[in-house]
Homo-oligomer: A and B are copies of this chain.
């Protein structure tokens, strides 16, 4: 085996002269990535986004001279699925570091779908992720992030995003509630009717070198449960439309069983909001304390056979709790709708 000096052109961060901190992952979408009508599951796209983010963050955080470290996902900002991906198309996920604080870094990932037969391309997703570097020797030790020099304007905007997400994360942490599942309800279109749980025993391929579950693996499971809840509610071809900010409260390690539970909180005319919580529990520790590892809201839409969004049956809520969650879901829905309108006007 011969030693090798890598040719200049292979170093990915020399590819684009405008940024030193870019990374691209790509792969062909296969039948197993998609549902029966050929739509790639949103969860697979989230998983790919996280893999790209994890690689670029880990690489950057190891450019310092202290402990070797691995970047752990702590938050994904609200993200929308802008176009569907299909089997046989190639997905390109390009990650770029866009801000660094002392102990965290922001990564923006764009996913482009390419039809290699026709050559056409489309923007599938744009996501913003936050990572913190954990020492390889002691996973609870958060390392310092080597600072990156941005323009004053970029720096200023980044700091604002940083403060906003920090506040949001603290707020969510307080809000974590103990989810006692509603009794199953045989009546259609109620919360209890479509609520679903899956359990998954964490295996080696789900984990990083630290033996902690990749954030992307967890997001894929969450999307899977949310999709089943949505399909049970409306019995049609459903697709992920967007994911509200996801916070990763605690790590999940190898050998855990994770229980992923989804329940409908709100339906608008053409969308469904599903709350998904992930609880983890070690199988081998005697104490066996289950803890809330992640929680998030997924929005799904229902498609007819021409792939147009169609009317969703209204959710039947009952009881104070279900009503409260419905109202909160409606508030999020109206807020996002107003925001989209504002953005569209700003673009024009």
Contacts and interface: CB of A to CB of B under 8 A. Distances in A.
Interface of A: 1-4, 6, 8-12, 14-16, 18, 23-28, 30-32, 35-36, 51, 54-55, 58-59, 62-63, 65, 68-70, 81-84, 87-88, 90, 92, 94, 110, 112, 114, 116-119, 121-123, 136, 181, 183-184, 186, 195-201, 203-205, 207-209, 224-225, 227-228, 231-232, 235-237, 254-255, 257, 283-286, 288
A82 B183 CA distance: 29
Nearest to A29: B36
28 contacts: A1-B82, A2-B83, A4-B82, A4-B121, A4-B122, A8-B186, A10-B94, A11-B184, A12-B92, A14-B183, A25-B27, A25-B198, A25-B199, A26-B228, A28-B55, A28-B228, A31-B203, A32-B204, A36-B254, A36-B255, A62-B286, A63-B119, A68-B118, A70-B284, A117-B236, A197-B199, A204-B205, A228-B283
A118 B235 contact: yes
Question: 4 closest A-B pairs (Cβ-Cβ)?
Answer: A4-B123, A9-B184, A31-B204, A31-B31
Contacts of A6: 112, 121-123
A105 to B, nearest CB: 14
A31 B200 CA distance: 16
Among A18, A81, A186, A236, the most chain B Cβ lie within 10 Å of the Cβ of A236
A206 B235 CA distance: 21
Contacts of A12: 24, 92, 197, 199
Contact of A201 (B55, B62, B65, B90): B55
A85 to B, nearest CB: 12
B87 A209 contact: yes
A26 to B, nearest CB: 5
